[in-house]
Amino acid sequence: MKERVTCEGDNNETEHKLYYKHYCKVLSKVIKEAKKLYYKEVITKSKNKMKTTWNIVHKETNNLTNEKNVKSLRINNHVVYNQITIAKEFNNYFLSIAGSTSNKRINKKDDEASPLQNLFKYFNQPFKDISWPYTSAKEINKIIGSLKDKNSSGYDEISTKIISKPFIISPLINTCNKMLAHGIYPERLKFSLIKPIYKSGDKILPSNYRPTSLLPAFPKILEIVIYKILFDHLNNNVILNEHQYGFRSGVNRKCFLYITK
């Protein structure tokens, strides 16, 4: 019977293996704790904590979509790979969905209409005309400060992080005041960047995508200016009906019971 001879080299190799396994365990714990601290700090500093949390979850579960463009789409029973054709098909599809939804609302029967529609009769009475005062640098700076810092941008590729510069605010105020004076909203600022987001199902079918609209930063500022003027006018002249409490800050929400015969 042969006997195995143990040399000093074998003992060293065994010790190295044990040390390596122990080191791997310690390193895994350190990395895990470091991740926890890092993600906790990221969430704490984030202005949109819910979105940041979900981004972290998707990252850790490898549920991130790396493909920014839709590579193929089924059009008239044919799979198309041309990006321009795919973009036009998405545009036609999303427009058709919006059109069908509007037609359903218009063609809705009177007996199926909500009792809340009777409140529109309230607006048949005359109200005071609205005036459009000019905006100021202080107001524009305040609006810009209220916007969330985002890297995303519209077709102009300008994010909210860089619009606080003085040389941008000055022409923005001039544009906004001219818009208020002439009552014309710049046509170019109506454009938005539409991106299809995959929902579920077959990726080559346009019906399995939903549209997301990326607006430029400048229209957001102008819209807030208009909103503030309009909202102040409605409140100061008591134009809004007491039943209209949605999207109004500082208004107690009430529940109303409508009994129909």
Q: Where are the domains of the chain?
A: 14-60, 73-104+130-236
Over the chain (261 residues), the average pLDDT of each successive run of 10 is 53 80 88 90 86 84 63 87 89 79 55 54 72 89 82 80 74 89 87 86 88 86 90 84 69 43 34
pLDDT value, residue 192: 85
What is the total residue count of the chain? Answer: 261
Give the model confidence (pLDDT) of 217-228 as tens digits.
Answer: 888 889 999 999
Residue 216 CB neighbour total at 10 angstroms: 22
Q: Which residues contact 173 (CB under 8 A, 6 or more apart)?
A: 135, 136, 137, 140
Give one DSSP letter per residue of 78-131, joined into a string.
Answer: EEE--HHHHHHHHHHHHHHHHHHHHHHHHT--GGGS-GGGGGGGGGGS--PPP-
Cα separation, 170 vs 163, whole angstroms: 11
Is residue 135 within 8 A of residue 180, CB to CB? The reply is yes
Residue 173 CB neighbour total at 10 angstroms: 19
User: What torsion do the CA atoms of 135, 141, 146, 149 make, to the nearest 10 degrees?
Assistant: 130
Backbone angles phi, psi at 30, to 5 degrees: -65, -45
pLDDT value, residue 225: 92
Consecutive H or E run containing 210: strand 209-214
pLDDT value, residue 10: 62
For residue 102 the two structure tokens come to 């509007």
Nearest one of 192, 215, 214, 209 to 67, comparing CA atoms:
209
Is residue 131 within 8 A of residue 188, CB to CB? The reply is no
Helices (H), 113-158: 137-146
pLDDT value, residue 258: 37
pLDDT value, residue 177: 92
pLDDT value, residue 137: 87
Cα separation, 41 vs 53, whole angstroms: 11
pLDDT value, residue 67: 55
**Side chain identity at 153, as an amino acid letter?**
S
